[in-house]
């Protein structure tokens, strides 16, 4: 082999190794950038909370998909709690156990009936630093969802709720409520008909008894809260949302004037901004 050929082989091998090293360093740098905070020393010492999202009735965890994408883009770890929708005695301990499984601070977010669940589940949980209510119930001790939803006029979901009997574990009969295919105007008027059909097909029904269980704890009395009002909500009347957030002394209330009840689907960026505001204020 000539000296020139050998020299070329050495140069080529060296270039390949250098390229590999650059790729490895680049990938490590990218991973570091995704997890390491940027800014002053004080900012670097802060730990971003995990965002836990809890859905309400007539929905499942997928209703948070657009919000999750926004939060993850901003570098927040996210967990969606699959709310059983059986009522406070079942739902609150279940979500409470999820909170216990998460190390580090948590910002707990809920939509609709999920608000009742987190109000009970977060009580006594020292890792929960903020509660964010998105067009959600915020009950006080002793109150039921049935009382709150009728406190102000404007809810239109009852006529589009379909009762379906089911057999409980103890053999008794319960009633599940499903959102009918005619329920878009009352529940999700500002999303496309195609998106509503998917939501309606993937919904988790809730036990009708969910409206009858009294709240046993009010976590918002000790944990700071934030609230979002859906201005054209025909599930929980906007006046009721404003009243509940005011009573809870919410640190910040955002109103989306043209939004239906499913604001996290139709306006995910606004929802995300409010959650991030709560995260930054409490971390």
Query: pTM of this prediction?
Result: 0.84
How far, in Å, CA of 196 to CA of 188, rounded? 7
What's the pLDDT tens digit per position in 40-49? 444 445 789 9
DSSP, res 143 = -
* CATH of range 50-281; options 3.40.50.1820, 3.40.190.10, 3.40.190.180, 3.40.50.1700: 3.40.50.1820
Q: Is the dihedral of CA 141, 216, 151, 265 positive or negative?
A: positive
| Per-residue pLDDT at 37 | 39
Query: Cα-atom radius of gyration of the chain, to the nearest Å?
Result: 24
Q: Cβ–Cβ contacts within 10 Å for residue 279, how many?
A: 25
Those residues whose C-beta lies under 8 Å from the C-beta of residue 109, and which sit 6 or more positions away, are 51, 52, 53, 54, 118, 131, 132, 134, 275
Beta bridge partners of 166: 174
What's the pLDDT tens digit per position in 82-124? 999 999 999 999 999 999 999 999 999 999 999 999 999 999 9
CB-count exposure of residue 251 (10 Å: 0-12, 13-18, 19+)? middle
């Amino acid at each position: 082999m000539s000296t020139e050929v050998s020299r070329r082989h050495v140069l080529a091998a060296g270039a390949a190794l250098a390229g590999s090293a650059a790729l490895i360093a680049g990938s490590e740098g990218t991973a570091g950038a995704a997890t390491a905070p940027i800014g002053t020393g004080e900012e670097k010492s802060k730990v971003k909370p995990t965002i836990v999202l809890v859905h309400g009735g007539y929905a499942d965890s997928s209703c948070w998909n657009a919000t999750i994408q926004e939060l993850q883009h901003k570098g927040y770890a996210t967990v969606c709690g699959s709310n059983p929708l059986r009522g406070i005695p079942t739902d609150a301990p279940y979500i409470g156990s999820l909170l216990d499984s998460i190390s580090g601070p948590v910002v707990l977010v809920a939509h609709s009936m999920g608000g009742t669940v987190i109000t009970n589940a977060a009580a006594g949980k020292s890792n929960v630093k903020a509660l964010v209510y998105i067009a959600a119930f915020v009950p006080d001790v002793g109150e039921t969802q049935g009382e709150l939803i009728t406190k102000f006029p404007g809810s239109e979901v009852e006529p589009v709720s379909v009762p379906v009997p089911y057999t409980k574990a103890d053999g008794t009969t319960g009633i599940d409520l499903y959102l009918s295919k005619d329920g878009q105007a009352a529940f999700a008027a500002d999303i496309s008909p195609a998106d509503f059909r998917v939501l309606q097909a993937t919904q988790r029904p809730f036990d009708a008894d969910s409206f009858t269980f009294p709240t046993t704890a009010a976590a918002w009395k000790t944990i700071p809260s934030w609230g979002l009002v859906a201005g054209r909500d025909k599930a929980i009347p906007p006046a009721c949302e404003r009243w509940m957030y005011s009573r809870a002394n919410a640190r910040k209330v955002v109103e989306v004037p043209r939004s239906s009840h499913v604001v996290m689907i139709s306006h995910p960026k606004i929802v995300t901004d409010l959650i991030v505001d709560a995260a930054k204020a409490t971390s």
